[in-house]
Amino acid sequence: MESNSSNFSASSGNGYELQMGRFSRLLAPKFLDLIEFEDSSNILDAGCGTGALTSEILRRTETADITGVDISEAYVEYAARQISDPRVSFEVADLKALPMPDETFDHVVSQLALNFVPNTSVAISEISRTLKVGGRLAVAIWDVRGGLVFNRFFLDTASMLDPEANELRKKNFTRPLTRPGHLEDALKSAGFAKVQIGEIHIRTEFASFEDYWRPFDGKDGPIPSYLSKRPAELKKQIKDAVRDAYLDGEADGLRSYVATAWVATGRRQ
């Protein structure tokens, strides 16, 4: 469900895995390739979801202690079931009010989460509070307007059929931190030094149209939340139109779409 600390509809870990987790697991290795951290570090995964990034950090380290926090109890429970290593702990927590003392972590990483937090500046300030002086924050956010093709062609198509879809489209493409320069500006405004930016590209692949559509019949994420409230006939019209967009006049089957994430890192002063 949505809360005043997140506007991402969260229902179940399995639902998130189908909707976005499978792509988070492709993004995580490339994200971490850009990040330097010591194996002895104390690391926070801020907005850990179902544990994709936590799992990759664990795989790459031998002694680091890793804490994953997320506003969704369902996602935290899922992550804890999947990752039982004693170096990892998970906790339900609001990124705008973290339950950790000042200067707890050497590094904080956040993947695909901060753009769903209302008042992101408060969340970034709170994250900074928990970082040690000189500690590093690294954030990755989808370029939803220009670089998330599979998401975009659903919204572009549905918005032609339903004014509510057009409202969702506008909200989605104007979320905080998702456009060129936004992450860099946010970290600099929060007082981070040595801010660096970059981009990551992955491929989101679907075996068929039904593989593409199945997550939209769930309850996790903005599009399923929107579709669940549509009348059956309108939902069918949208699905038929999106199918045409997916097929592009060819036989059903594998489709591969690029997905781009903005990345920014900075050090607490």
Structural domain contains residue 34: yes
Mean pLDDT of the chain: 94
- Give Cα separations from 246 to 44, 94, 253 (angstroms): 38, 37, 9
Task: For residue 44, name the pLDDT band (cuts at 50, 70, 90).
Answer: very high
Task: For residue 11, name the pLDDT band (cuts at 50, 70, 90).
Answer: confident
pLDDT for residue 10 is more than 70: no
pLDDT value of residue 2: 45
Amino acid type, 259:
A
Measure the CA–CA gap between 11 and 63, rounded to whole angstroms: 33
pLDDT value of residue 103: 98
Across residues 158-163, what is the average pLDDT? 98
Structural domain contains residue 5: no
pLDDT for residue 19 is more than 90: no
Q: Which residue has the higher pLDDT, 3 or 205?
A: 205
The tally of domains found in the chain comes to: 1
pLDDT value of residue 35: 85
Structural domain contains residue 168: yes
Structural domain contains residue 8: no
Q: Which residue has the higher pLDDT, 170 or 9?
A: 170
Assign residue 83 the CATH number of its domain.
3.40.50.150
Structural domain contains residue 1: no
pLDDT for residue 112 is more than 80: yes
Structural domain contains residue 49: yes
pLDDT for residue 6 is more than 70: no
Across residues 94-110, what is the average pLDDT? 98
- Which segments of the chain does DSSP mark as H helices, in order? 13-16, 22-33, 52-60, 73-82, 120-130, 149-159, 163-173, 182-189, 209-213, 222-227, 232-247
What predicted TM-score, i.e. pTM, was given to this entire model?
0.94
- CA 76 to centroid of chain Cα atoms: 14
Structural domain contains residue 103: yes
Which domain, by its residues, includes 94? 13-267
Across residues 105-131, what is the average pLDDT? 97
Residue 92 class from Cβ within 10 Å (0-12 exposed, 13-18 middle, 19+ buried)?
A: middle
pLDDT value of residue 73: 95
Structural domain contains residue 198: yes
